[in-house]
Structure 1
Amino acid sequence: MNKNRLKEICESKNIDIMGIAPVGPYFDLEKILIDRKQKGHLTGMEEQDIQKRINPKLIMEEVKSIIVCAFPYYIGEYDDANISKYCYGEDYHIVTKKLLTEVCLDIQKEVEDFKYEIFADNGPLVDRYLAYLSGIGYFGINNNIITDKYGSYIFIAYIVNNYDFPADEPVEKTCIKCNKCVKYCPGNAILGDFEMDPRKCLSYITQKKDELSEEEVNLLRENRKIFGCDICQDVCPHNQNIELTKIEEFNQAIITNLDKNEIDEISNKEFKRRYKNKAFSWRGRKIIKRNMDIILDKNKINS
Protein backbone atom coordinates (compact mmCIF):
# COMPACT_ATOMS: atom_id res chain seq x y z
CA MET A 1 0.00 0.00 0.00
CA ASN A 2 1.34 3.45 -0.87
CA LYS A 3 0.75 6.66 1.04
CA ASN A 4 -1.78 7.99 -1.46
CA ARG A 5 -3.99 4.95 -0.85
CA LEU A 6 -3.66 5.49 2.90
CA LYS A 7 -4.76 9.11 2.45
CA GLU A 8 -7.77 7.94 0.45
CA ILE A 9 -8.78 5.61 3.27
CA CYS A 10 -8.38 8.38 5.86
CA GLU A 11 -10.31 10.91 3.79
CA SER A 12 -13.18 8.42 3.45
CA LYS A 13 -13.54 8.76 7.25
CA ASN A 14 -13.42 12.59 7.10
CA ILE A 15 -9.78 12.56 8.26
CA ASP A 16 -8.19 15.07 5.90
CA ILE A 17 -4.97 15.83 7.81
CA MET A 18 -2.61 12.86 8.10
CA GLY A 19 1.14 12.32 8.14
CA ILE A 20 3.71 9.66 8.91
CA ALA A 21 6.18 9.99 11.78
CA PRO A 22 9.44 8.02 11.96
CA VAL A 23 9.89 5.44 14.71
CA GLY A 24 12.73 7.07 16.64
CA PRO A 25 14.09 6.89 19.22
CA TYR A 26 13.54 10.65 19.54
CA PHE A 27 16.70 11.84 21.24
CA ASP A 28 15.93 15.55 20.67
CA LEU A 29 12.67 15.03 22.54
CA GLU A 30 14.52 13.21 25.32
CA LYS A 31 16.56 16.36 25.99
CA ILE A 32 13.39 18.46 26.14
CA LEU A 33 11.68 16.05 28.54
CA ILE A 34 14.70 15.88 30.84
CA ASP A 35 14.82 19.69 30.89
CA ARG A 36 11.12 19.90 31.77
CA LYS A 37 11.57 17.41 34.58
CA GLN A 38 14.52 19.33 36.01
CA LYS A 39 12.50 22.57 35.92
CA GLY A 40 9.48 20.92 37.54
CA HIS A 41 7.29 21.68 34.53
CA LEU A 42 5.19 18.53 34.96
CA THR A 43 1.66 17.91 36.24
CA GLY A 44 2.12 14.30 37.32
CA MET A 45 -0.34 13.11 34.66
CA GLU A 46 2.50 12.36 32.24
CA GLU A 47 4.16 8.98 31.68
CA GLN A 48 7.01 8.94 34.20
CA ASP A 49 9.39 6.71 32.20
CA ILE A 50 11.03 8.98 29.63
CA GLN A 51 12.24 6.02 27.56
CA LYS A 52 8.62 5.00 26.96
CA ARG A 53 7.93 8.53 25.71
CA ILE A 54 10.73 8.55 23.14
CA ASN A 55 10.92 4.96 21.91
CA PRO A 56 7.92 3.48 20.02
CA LYS A 57 9.63 0.06 19.98
CA LEU A 58 8.68 -0.25 23.65
CA ILE A 59 5.05 -0.23 22.48
CA MET A 60 5.50 -2.50 19.47
CA GLU A 61 8.82 -4.20 18.82
CA GLU A 62 8.14 -4.57 15.10
CA VAL A 63 6.98 -0.97 14.58
CA LYS A 64 7.95 0.50 11.20
CA SER A 65 5.90 3.70 11.02
CA ILE A 66 3.43 5.84 12.96
CA ILE A 67 0.30 7.19 11.25
CA VAL A 68 -0.58 10.53 12.86
CA CYS A 69 -3.96 12.16 12.29
CA ALA A 70 -5.54 15.48 13.24
CA PHE A 71 -9.22 15.64 14.18
CA PRO A 72 -10.63 19.19 14.07
CA TYR A 73 -13.36 20.02 16.58
CA TYR A 74 -14.15 23.73 16.13
CA ILE A 75 -17.91 24.28 15.60
CA GLY A 76 -18.17 28.01 16.30
CA GLU A 77 -18.56 30.40 19.23
CA TYR A 78 -21.10 30.11 22.07
CA ASP A 79 -21.47 33.07 24.43
CA ASP A 80 -22.92 30.99 27.27
CA ALA A 81 -20.11 28.40 27.32
CA ASN A 82 -18.58 27.51 30.68
CA ILE A 83 -16.64 24.48 29.45
CA SER A 84 -13.86 24.18 26.90
CA LYS A 85 -14.66 23.85 23.20
CA TYR A 86 -13.15 20.38 23.06
CA CYS A 87 -15.92 19.13 25.35
CA TYR A 88 -18.92 20.33 23.30
CA GLY A 89 -19.44 17.21 21.18
CA GLU A 90 -18.81 13.53 21.72
CA ASP A 91 -15.73 12.50 23.71
CA TYR A 92 -12.76 12.64 21.35
CA HIS A 93 -11.24 9.49 22.87
CA ILE A 94 -14.29 7.55 21.64
CA VAL A 95 -14.54 9.28 18.26
CA THR A 96 -10.88 9.18 17.25
CA LYS A 97 -10.41 5.55 18.27
CA LYS A 98 -13.52 4.52 16.37
CA LEU A 99 -12.42 6.30 13.19
CA LEU A 100 -8.85 5.04 13.39
CA THR A 101 -10.08 1.50 14.01
CA GLU A 102 -12.08 1.79 10.78
CA VAL A 103 -8.93 2.99 9.00
CA CYS A 104 -6.94 0.02 10.32
CA LEU A 105 -9.62 -2.49 9.33
CA ASP A 106 -9.56 -1.08 5.80
CA ILE A 107 -5.77 -1.35 5.71
CA GLN A 108 -5.97 -4.97 6.85
CA LYS A 109 -8.10 -5.76 3.80
CA GLU A 110 -5.14 -4.79 1.60
CA VAL A 111 -2.07 -5.41 3.77
CA GLU A 112 -1.39 -8.93 5.00
CA ASP A 113 -0.49 -9.30 8.70
CA PHE A 114 -1.02 -5.60 9.41
CA LYS A 115 -0.59 -5.07 13.15
CA TYR A 116 -1.43 -1.86 14.97
CA GLU A 117 -1.97 -0.07 18.28
CA ILE A 118 -4.21 3.03 18.43
CA PHE A 119 -3.64 5.85 20.91
CA ALA A 120 -5.75 8.94 21.57
CA ASP A 121 -4.32 10.93 24.46
CA ASN A 122 -3.74 7.68 26.35
CA GLY A 123 -0.35 6.50 25.12
CA PRO A 124 3.15 7.10 26.45
CA LEU A 125 4.41 8.88 23.31
CA VAL A 126 4.14 12.68 23.03
CA ASP A 127 1.35 13.18 20.51
CA ARG A 128 2.20 16.82 19.71
CA TYR A 129 5.80 15.88 18.98
CA LEU A 130 4.59 13.10 16.66
CA ALA A 131 2.30 15.61 14.94
CA TYR A 132 5.28 17.91 14.42
CA LEU A 133 7.49 15.09 13.09
CA SER A 134 4.78 13.92 10.70
CA GLY A 135 4.39 17.40 9.19
CA ILE A 136 0.69 17.80 9.95
CA GLY A 137 1.30 20.99 11.93
CA TYR A 138 3.79 23.25 13.65
CA PHE A 139 4.27 24.48 17.20
CA GLY A 140 2.77 27.61 18.66
CA ILE A 141 4.35 29.48 21.57
CA ASN A 142 1.61 27.94 23.74
CA ASN A 143 2.89 24.46 22.76
CA ASN A 144 -0.25 23.68 20.75
CA ILE A 145 0.09 22.19 17.29
CA ILE A 146 -1.25 24.54 14.62
CA THR A 147 -2.63 23.44 11.26
CA ASP A 148 -3.22 25.83 8.38
CA LYS A 149 -6.76 24.59 7.78
CA TYR A 150 -8.15 24.20 11.30
CA GLY A 151 -5.79 26.22 13.47
CA SER A 152 -4.99 24.58 16.79
CA TYR A 153 -8.52 23.34 17.52
CA ILE A 154 -7.55 19.75 16.80
CA PHE A 155 -7.21 16.44 18.58
CA ILE A 156 -4.22 14.27 17.75
CA ALA A 157 -4.37 10.48 17.61
CA TYR A 158 -1.95 8.00 16.11
CA ILE A 159 -1.47 4.42 14.96
CA VAL A 160 1.73 2.58 15.86
CA ASN A 161 2.00 -0.13 13.20
CA ASN A 162 4.24 -2.67 11.48
CA TYR A 163 3.93 -1.35 7.90
CA ASP A 164 6.76 0.70 6.43
CA PHE A 165 5.00 3.84 5.26
CA PRO A 166 7.69 6.41 4.31
CA ALA A 167 8.02 9.15 6.90
CA ASP A 168 7.04 12.75 6.19
CA GLU A 169 9.14 15.81 7.01
CA PRO A 170 8.31 18.42 9.67
CA VAL A 171 6.93 21.76 8.50
CA GLU A 172 9.76 24.26 8.76
CA LYS A 173 7.83 27.07 10.44
CA THR A 174 6.38 28.14 13.75
CA CYS A 175 3.59 30.48 14.78
CA ILE A 176 4.00 34.22 14.11
CA LYS A 177 5.17 34.75 17.71
CA CYS A 178 2.78 37.59 18.46
CA ASN A 179 2.86 36.52 22.14
CA LYS A 180 -0.88 37.11 22.62
CA CYS A 181 -1.12 33.67 24.24
CA VAL A 182 1.59 34.72 26.70
CA LYS A 183 -0.13 38.02 27.48
CA TYR A 184 -3.62 36.64 28.00
CA CYS A 185 -2.87 33.33 29.74
CA PRO A 186 -4.66 33.81 33.09
CA GLY A 187 -2.19 31.72 35.08
CA ASN A 188 0.96 32.95 33.32
CA ALA A 189 1.66 29.35 32.38
CA ILE A 190 3.03 30.20 28.91
CA LEU A 191 6.63 31.34 29.28
CA GLY A 192 7.11 32.87 25.83
CA ASP A 193 9.94 30.69 24.54
CA PHE A 194 7.93 27.63 23.45
CA GLU A 195 8.04 26.45 27.06
CA MET A 196 5.27 26.40 29.61
CA ASP A 197 4.61 25.47 33.22
CA PRO A 198 1.48 23.30 32.93
CA ARG A 199 0.84 23.49 36.69
CA LYS A 200 -0.22 27.12 36.19
CA CYS A 201 -2.52 26.37 33.26
CA LEU A 202 -6.17 27.13 34.07
CA SER A 203 -7.29 24.04 32.17
CA TYR A 204 -5.12 21.88 34.43
CA ILE A 205 -6.36 23.70 37.54
CA THR A 206 -9.99 22.99 36.61
CA GLN A 207 -9.10 19.28 36.51
CA LYS A 208 -6.79 19.18 39.53
CA LYS A 209 -7.85 16.74 42.26
CA ASP A 210 -5.57 18.09 44.98
CA GLU A 211 -6.64 20.99 47.18
CA LEU A 212 -6.48 24.30 45.34
CA SER A 213 -4.38 27.20 46.54
CA GLU A 214 -5.91 30.63 47.11
CA GLU A 215 -4.33 31.81 43.86
CA GLU A 216 -5.88 28.90 41.94
CA VAL A 217 -9.29 29.55 43.52
CA ASN A 218 -9.09 33.18 42.44
CA LEU A 219 -8.18 32.14 38.88
CA LEU A 220 -11.31 30.00 38.71
CA ARG A 221 -13.50 32.82 40.02
CA GLU A 222 -12.05 35.42 37.69
CA ASN A 223 -12.36 33.31 34.54
CA ARG A 224 -15.55 31.41 35.40
CA LYS A 225 -14.67 28.22 33.55
CA ILE A 226 -16.03 24.99 34.97
CA PHE A 227 -13.78 22.73 32.93
CA GLY A 228 -10.90 23.53 30.60
CA CYS A 229 -9.69 26.82 29.14
CA ASP A 230 -9.51 28.13 25.57
CA ILE A 231 -8.04 31.58 26.13
CA CYS A 232 -4.64 31.01 24.52
CA GLN A 233 -6.36 29.52 21.48
CA ASP A 234 -9.15 32.10 21.28
CA VAL A 235 -6.66 35.00 21.07
CA CYS A 236 -4.37 33.22 18.58
CA PRO A 237 -4.31 34.81 15.09
CA HIS A 238 -3.84 31.36 13.57
CA ASN A 239 -7.34 30.46 14.79
CA GLN A 240 -9.07 33.24 12.88
CA ASN A 241 -11.12 32.32 9.79
CA ILE A 242 -10.49 28.60 10.17
CA GLU A 243 -12.73 25.90 8.77
CA LEU A 244 -15.36 24.16 10.88
CA THR A 245 -15.03 20.45 11.58
CA LYS A 246 -16.64 17.98 9.19
CA ILE A 247 -16.65 15.19 11.79
CA GLU A 248 -20.29 14.46 12.58
CA GLU A 249 -19.78 13.35 16.17
CA PHE A 250 -18.35 16.74 17.14
CA ASN A 251 -21.49 18.43 15.77
CA GLN A 252 -24.05 16.28 17.57
CA ALA A 253 -25.59 16.38 21.08
CA ILE A 254 -23.79 19.66 21.74
CA ILE A 255 -23.34 20.79 25.35
CA THR A 256 -21.66 24.16 25.94
CA ASN A 257 -22.89 25.00 29.43
CA LEU A 258 -23.25 22.93 32.60
CA ASP A 259 -26.05 23.96 34.95
CA LYS A 260 -25.28 24.21 38.68
CA ASN A 261 -28.75 23.20 39.81
CA GLU A 262 -28.55 20.03 37.76
CA ILE A 263 -25.06 19.13 39.00
CA ASP A 264 -26.12 19.79 42.61
CA GLU A 265 -29.17 17.53 42.30
CA ILE A 266 -27.80 14.47 40.49
CA SER A 267 -25.71 11.71 42.06
CA ASN A 268 -22.17 10.81 41.06
CA LYS A 269 -23.48 7.70 39.31
CA GLU A 270 -26.11 9.69 37.45
CA PHE A 271 -23.44 12.19 36.37
CA LYS A 272 -21.38 9.36 34.88
CA ARG A 273 -24.45 7.88 33.17
CA ARG A 274 -25.67 11.19 31.78
CA TYR A 275 -22.31 12.46 30.56
CA LYS A 276 -20.39 9.26 29.82
CA ASN A 277 -19.84 10.32 26.20
CA LYS A 278 -18.39 13.73 27.08
CA ALA A 279 -14.69 14.49 27.51
CA PHE A 280 -15.22 16.21 30.88
CA SER A 281 -16.93 13.19 32.47
CA TRP A 282 -13.73 11.31 33.30
CA ARG A 283 -12.95 13.72 36.18
CA GLY A 284 -16.29 13.03 37.79
CA ARG A 285 -19.04 15.14 39.33
CA LYS A 286 -17.08 16.06 42.46
CA ILE A 287 -14.49 18.20 40.67
CA ILE A 288 -17.12 19.82 38.43
CA LYS A 289 -19.22 20.68 41.49
CA ARG A 290 -16.19 22.01 43.35
CA ASN A 291 -15.41 24.38 40.49
CA MET A 292 -19.01 25.54 40.30
CA ASP A 293 -19.13 26.15 44.05
CA ILE A 294 -15.92 28.19 43.93
CA ILE A 295 -17.16 30.31 41.04
CA LEU A 296 -20.70 30.85 42.31
CA ASP A 297 -20.28 30.74 46.10
CA LYS A 298 -17.39 32.65 47.65
CA ASN A 299 -17.84 30.81 50.94
CA LYS A 300 -17.05 27.44 49.38
CA ILE A 301 -13.43 26.66 48.69
CA ASN A 302 -12.14 23.13 48.02
CA SER A 303 -15.36 21.67 49.39
Structure 2
Amino acid sequence: MNEENTFETHRPRLFGLSYRLLGSRSDAEDVVQDAWLRWQQADHASIRDPEAWLVTAATRLGIDRLRAARVQRGRYVGPWLPEPAEIDEAPGPDHHAERAEQVSLAFLAVLERLGPEERAAYLLKEAFDYEYAQIAPLLGQSEANCRQMVHRARERVQAARPRFEVEPERHRKLLERFMHAASRGDQTAITALLREDARLVSDGGGKALAVIRPLLGRERIARLFWAAYRRRDPAIEWRMGMVNGEPAILRYRTGKLAAVMVATTDGERIVELLNVANPDKLGAGVTPDPGRASW
Protein backbone atom coordinates (compact mmCIF):
# COMPACT_ATOMS: atom_id res chain seq x y z
CA MET A 1 0.00 0.00 0.00
CA ASN A 2 1.46 3.35 -1.00
CA GLU A 3 1.69 6.40 1.24
CA GLU A 4 -1.48 8.07 -0.05
CA ASN A 5 -3.61 4.92 0.21
CA THR A 6 -2.37 4.33 3.74
CA PHE A 7 -3.37 7.82 4.76
CA GLU A 8 -6.77 7.62 3.06
CA THR A 9 -7.50 4.39 4.90
CA HIS A 10 -7.11 6.19 8.21
CA ARG A 11 -8.60 9.55 7.18
CA PRO A 12 -12.11 8.86 8.60
CA ARG A 13 -10.67 7.98 12.02
CA LEU A 14 -8.42 11.05 12.00
CA PHE A 15 -11.33 13.31 11.09
CA GLY A 16 -13.61 11.70 13.69
CA LEU A 17 -11.04 12.21 16.44
CA SER A 18 -10.19 15.77 15.36
CA TYR A 19 -13.84 16.80 15.12
CA ARG A 20 -14.68 15.44 18.57
CA LEU A 21 -11.59 17.13 19.96
CA LEU A 22 -12.25 20.55 18.40
CA GLY A 23 -16.02 20.69 17.93
CA SER A 24 -15.43 22.30 14.54
CA ARG A 25 -15.66 20.64 11.15
CA SER A 26 -13.45 23.24 9.47
CA ASP A 27 -10.76 23.02 12.17
CA ALA A 28 -10.88 19.22 12.03
CA GLU A 29 -10.35 19.30 8.27
CA ASP A 30 -7.35 21.59 8.79
CA VAL A 31 -5.86 19.17 11.34
CA VAL A 32 -6.29 16.24 8.94
CA GLN A 33 -4.62 18.25 6.18
CA ASP A 34 -1.70 19.16 8.48
CA ALA A 35 -1.37 15.48 9.46
CA TRP A 36 -1.22 14.59 5.76
CA LEU A 37 1.60 17.09 5.18
CA ARG A 38 3.56 15.62 8.09
CA TRP A 39 2.89 12.11 6.78
CA GLN A 40 4.29 13.05 3.37
CA GLN A 41 7.51 14.28 4.97
CA ALA A 42 7.93 11.33 7.35
CA ASP A 43 10.45 8.50 7.05
CA HIS A 44 7.94 5.73 6.34
CA ALA A 45 10.54 2.98 6.52
CA SER A 46 10.96 3.69 10.23
CA ILE A 47 7.20 3.71 11.01
CA ARG A 48 6.05 0.30 12.23
CA ASP A 49 2.46 1.26 13.01
CA PRO A 50 1.08 3.89 10.58
CA GLU A 51 -2.25 4.19 12.42
CA ALA A 52 -0.57 4.92 15.75
CA TRP A 53 1.74 7.44 14.08
CA LEU A 54 -1.13 9.24 12.37
CA VAL A 55 -3.39 9.27 15.44
CA THR A 56 -0.51 10.65 17.50
CA ALA A 57 0.14 13.39 14.92
CA ALA A 58 -3.54 14.33 14.67
CA THR A 59 -4.02 14.35 18.45
CA ARG A 60 -1.04 16.61 19.08
CA LEU A 61 -2.01 18.93 16.24
CA GLY A 62 -5.57 18.98 17.57
CA ILE A 63 -4.47 19.82 21.12
CA ASP A 64 -2.33 22.71 19.85
CA ARG A 65 -5.19 24.02 17.72
CA LEU A 66 -7.65 23.66 20.61
CA ARG A 67 -5.41 25.73 22.89
CA ALA A 68 -5.31 28.49 20.28
CA ALA A 69 -9.07 28.22 19.63
CA ARG A 70 -9.86 28.66 23.31
CA VAL A 71 -8.12 32.02 23.30
CA GLN A 72 -10.18 33.06 20.27
CA ARG A 73 -13.41 31.72 21.79
CA GLY A 74 -12.80 33.90 24.82
CA ARG A 75 -13.46 36.88 22.52
CA TYR A 76 -16.45 35.27 20.83
CA VAL A 77 -19.72 37.23 20.80
CA GLY A 78 -22.24 35.31 22.89
CA PRO A 79 -22.18 31.55 23.59
CA TRP A 80 -19.97 29.35 21.42
CA LEU A 81 -21.54 26.10 20.21
CA PRO A 82 -19.95 23.32 18.15
CA GLU A 83 -20.08 23.47 14.37
CA PRO A 84 -22.28 20.74 12.84
CA ALA A 85 -20.35 18.13 10.90
CA GLU A 86 -23.33 16.82 8.92
CA ILE A 87 -26.58 18.60 8.09
CA ASP A 88 -29.11 16.50 6.19
CA GLU A 89 -31.84 18.73 4.80
CA ALA A 90 -34.09 15.92 3.57
CA PRO A 91 -33.60 12.61 5.41
CA GLY A 92 -35.54 9.81 3.74
CA PRO A 93 -38.44 8.00 5.40
CA ASP A 94 -36.22 5.03 6.20
CA HIS A 95 -33.51 7.16 7.76
CA HIS A 96 -32.98 6.07 11.37
CA ALA A 97 -30.94 8.33 13.60
CA GLU A 98 -27.86 6.71 15.03
CA ARG A 99 -27.94 7.62 18.68
CA ALA A 100 -24.21 8.15 18.78
CA GLU A 101 -24.02 10.59 21.67
CA GLN A 102 -20.31 11.13 21.15
CA VAL A 103 -21.05 13.22 18.02
CA SER A 104 -24.20 15.05 19.11
CA LEU A 105 -23.87 18.81 19.43
CA ALA A 106 -24.99 18.60 23.07
CA PHE A 107 -22.23 16.13 23.88
CA LEU A 108 -19.60 18.22 22.10
CA ALA A 109 -20.78 21.29 24.01
CA VAL A 110 -20.22 19.43 27.29
CA LEU A 111 -16.70 18.49 26.18
CA GLU A 112 -15.87 22.21 26.06
CA ARG A 113 -15.66 22.02 29.87
CA LEU A 114 -12.57 19.79 29.64
CA GLY A 115 -8.98 20.90 29.22
CA PRO A 116 -7.27 20.01 25.90
CA GLU A 117 -5.22 17.03 27.13
CA GLU A 118 -8.04 15.87 29.40
CA ARG A 119 -10.43 15.97 26.45
CA ALA A 120 -8.02 14.05 24.24
CA ALA A 121 -7.46 11.34 26.85
CA TYR A 122 -11.20 10.99 27.45
CA LEU A 123 -12.02 10.70 23.75
CA LEU A 124 -9.25 8.23 23.00
CA LYS A 125 -10.48 6.01 25.83
CA GLU A 126 -14.25 6.42 25.63
CA ALA A 127 -14.89 7.01 21.92
CA PHE A 128 -12.00 5.10 20.33
CA ASP A 129 -11.41 2.39 22.96
CA TYR A 130 -7.66 2.99 23.30
CA GLU A 131 -5.82 1.38 26.20
CA TYR A 132 -4.04 3.57 28.72
CA ALA A 133 -0.76 2.05 27.57
CA GLN A 134 -1.46 3.52 24.13
CA ILE A 135 -2.73 6.88 25.36
CA ALA A 136 0.16 7.59 27.70
CA PRO A 137 3.01 7.87 25.15
CA LEU A 138 0.69 9.63 22.72
CA LEU A 139 0.09 12.44 25.24
CA GLY A 140 3.53 12.27 26.84
CA GLN A 141 1.98 11.35 30.20
CA SER A 142 2.21 8.40 32.56
CA GLU A 143 -0.52 5.76 32.52
CA ALA A 144 -1.50 6.81 36.03
CA ASN A 145 -1.94 10.41 34.95
CA CYS A 146 -4.01 9.34 31.96
CA ARG A 147 -6.26 7.21 34.16
CA GLN A 148 -6.78 10.17 36.47
CA MET A 149 -7.54 12.52 33.57
CA VAL A 150 -10.11 10.13 32.10
CA HIS A 151 -11.67 9.53 35.52
CA ARG A 152 -12.06 13.28 36.14
CA ALA A 153 -13.37 13.88 32.63
CA ARG A 154 -15.91 11.07 32.92
CA GLU A 155 -17.24 12.51 36.18
CA ARG A 156 -17.50 16.03 34.76
CA VAL A 157 -19.25 14.84 31.60
CA GLN A 158 -21.75 12.73 33.53
CA ALA A 159 -22.45 15.57 35.96
CA ALA A 160 -22.95 18.12 33.18
CA ARG A 161 -25.16 16.02 30.95
CA PRO A 162 -27.45 13.42 32.48
CA ARG A 163 -28.24 10.71 29.98
CA PHE A 164 -31.81 10.03 28.92
CA GLU A 165 -32.60 6.84 27.07
CA VAL A 166 -35.14 8.08 24.54
CA GLU A 167 -36.27 6.25 21.41
CA PRO A 168 -35.15 8.15 18.27
CA GLU A 169 -38.70 8.28 16.87
CA ARG A 170 -40.06 9.66 20.15
CA HIS A 171 -37.30 12.28 20.14
CA ARG A 172 -38.12 13.28 16.58
CA LYS A 173 -41.86 13.55 17.17
CA LEU A 174 -41.37 15.68 20.29
CA LEU A 175 -39.05 18.05 18.41
CA GLU A 176 -41.47 18.19 15.48
CA ARG A 177 -44.31 19.19 17.83
CA PHE A 178 -42.05 21.91 19.24
CA MET A 179 -41.27 23.13 15.72
CA HIS A 180 -44.96 23.50 14.88
CA ALA A 181 -45.67 25.30 18.18
CA ALA A 182 -42.67 27.63 17.83
CA SER A 183 -43.43 28.49 14.20
CA ARG A 184 -46.93 29.59 15.30
CA GLY A 185 -45.69 31.44 18.39
CA ASP A 186 -48.02 29.29 20.51
CA GLN A 187 -46.79 30.08 24.04
CA THR A 188 -49.10 27.56 25.72
CA ALA A 189 -48.01 24.68 23.50
CA ILE A 190 -44.32 25.64 23.73
CA THR A 191 -44.48 25.81 27.53
CA ALA A 192 -46.16 22.40 27.69
CA LEU A 193 -43.37 20.85 25.62
CA LEU A 194 -40.54 22.26 27.76
CA ARG A 195 -39.39 21.09 31.16
CA GLU A 196 -39.74 23.81 33.80
CA ASP A 197 -35.97 24.26 34.05
CA ALA A 198 -35.37 24.08 30.30
CA ARG A 199 -32.44 25.97 28.80
CA LEU A 200 -31.89 27.59 25.41
CA VAL A 201 -28.38 28.36 24.14
CA SER A 202 -28.05 30.25 20.86
CA ASP A 203 -24.86 30.87 18.86
CA GLY A 204 -24.99 33.76 16.41
CA GLY A 205 -21.31 34.65 16.65
CA GLY A 206 -22.17 38.33 16.31
CA LYS A 207 -23.24 37.64 12.71
CA ALA A 208 -26.84 36.53 13.24
CA LEU A 209 -29.62 37.46 15.62
CA ALA A 210 -29.30 35.37 18.80
CA VAL A 211 -29.67 35.71 22.56
CA ILE A 212 -26.24 36.55 23.94
CA ARG A 213 -26.68 34.55 27.16
CA PRO A 214 -28.29 31.17 27.84
CA LEU A 215 -32.02 31.58 28.45
CA LEU A 216 -33.31 29.63 31.48
CA GLY A 217 -36.90 28.59 32.21
CA ARG A 218 -39.69 27.45 29.92
CA GLU A 219 -41.78 30.64 30.27
CA ARG A 220 -38.89 32.85 29.16
CA ILE A 221 -38.13 30.56 26.21
CA ALA A 222 -41.80 30.49 25.21
CA ARG A 223 -41.96 34.30 25.32
CA LEU A 224 -38.91 34.52 23.07
CA PHE A 225 -40.52 32.38 20.36
CA TRP A 226 -43.80 34.28 20.73
CA ALA A 227 -41.94 37.57 20.25
CA ALA A 228 -40.14 36.17 17.20
CA TYR A 229 -43.44 35.03 15.72
CA ARG A 230 -44.98 38.48 16.21
CA ARG A 231 -42.39 39.90 13.83
CA ARG A 232 -43.93 37.57 11.21
CA ASP A 233 -40.97 37.35 8.84
CA PRO A 234 -42.56 35.83 5.70
CA ALA A 235 -39.14 34.78 4.44
CA ILE A 236 -38.71 32.26 7.29
CA GLU A 237 -39.44 28.59 6.64
CA TRP A 238 -39.26 25.81 9.27
CA ARG A 239 -38.45 22.21 8.39
CA MET A 240 -37.31 19.02 10.06
CA GLY A 241 -33.92 17.58 9.16
CA MET A 242 -30.94 15.84 10.75
CA VAL A 243 -27.78 17.27 12.29
CA ASN A 244 -24.93 14.91 13.20
CA GLY A 245 -27.33 11.97 12.96
CA GLU A 246 -30.02 13.33 15.29
CA PRO A 247 -33.35 15.07 14.61
CA ALA A 248 -33.08 18.82 14.16
CA ILE A 249 -35.15 21.85 13.26
CA LEU A 250 -33.81 23.68 10.22
CA ARG A 251 -34.81 27.29 9.61
CA TYR A 252 -34.43 28.96 6.23
CA ARG A 253 -34.60 32.58 5.18
CA THR A 254 -35.44 33.13 1.49
CA GLY A 255 -34.38 29.55 0.78
CA LYS A 256 -30.99 29.72 2.53
CA LEU A 257 -30.23 27.76 5.68
CA ALA A 258 -30.18 30.30 8.53
CA ALA A 259 -30.12 28.16 11.69
CA VAL A 260 -30.21 24.61 13.02
CA MET A 261 -31.65 23.63 16.38
CA VAL A 262 -31.25 20.36 18.27
CA ALA A 263 -32.71 19.28 21.58
CA THR A 264 -32.02 17.09 24.58
CA THR A 265 -35.18 15.46 25.90
CA ASP A 266 -36.18 13.19 28.77
CA GLY A 267 -38.75 11.51 26.54
CA GLU A 268 -41.64 13.63 27.81
CA ARG A 269 -40.36 17.19 27.55
CA ILE A 270 -37.46 19.13 26.10
CA VAL A 271 -34.63 19.76 28.56
CA GLU A 272 -32.26 21.83 26.42
CA LEU A 273 -32.30 23.54 23.05
CA LEU A 274 -29.10 24.37 21.16
CA ASN A 275 -29.45 26.80 18.28
CA VAL A 276 -26.60 27.41 15.80
CA ALA A 277 -27.20 30.50 13.66
CA ASN A 278 -23.64 31.68 12.94
CA PRO A 279 -23.52 31.49 9.12
CA ASP A 280 -19.85 30.48 9.24
CA LYS A 281 -20.92 27.18 10.83
CA LEU A 282 -23.70 26.28 8.41
CA GLY A 283 -22.03 26.05 5.02
CA ALA A 284 -20.08 22.79 5.29
CA GLY A 285 -21.37 19.26 5.56
CA VAL A 286 -24.81 20.05 4.12
CA THR A 287 -26.61 17.30 2.22
CA PRO A 288 -29.13 19.29 0.19
CA ASP A 289 -32.75 18.46 -0.47
CA PRO A 290 -32.83 17.35 -4.14
CA GLY A 291 -36.33 18.81 -4.42
CA ARG A 292 -35.24 22.28 -3.29
CA ALA A 293 -34.14 24.83 -5.85
CA SER A 294 -30.41 25.51 -5.80
CA TRP A 295 -29.35 28.62 -3.93
TM over 0.5: no
- Give the structure with the higher percent helix: 2
| Bigger fraction of residues in strand | 2
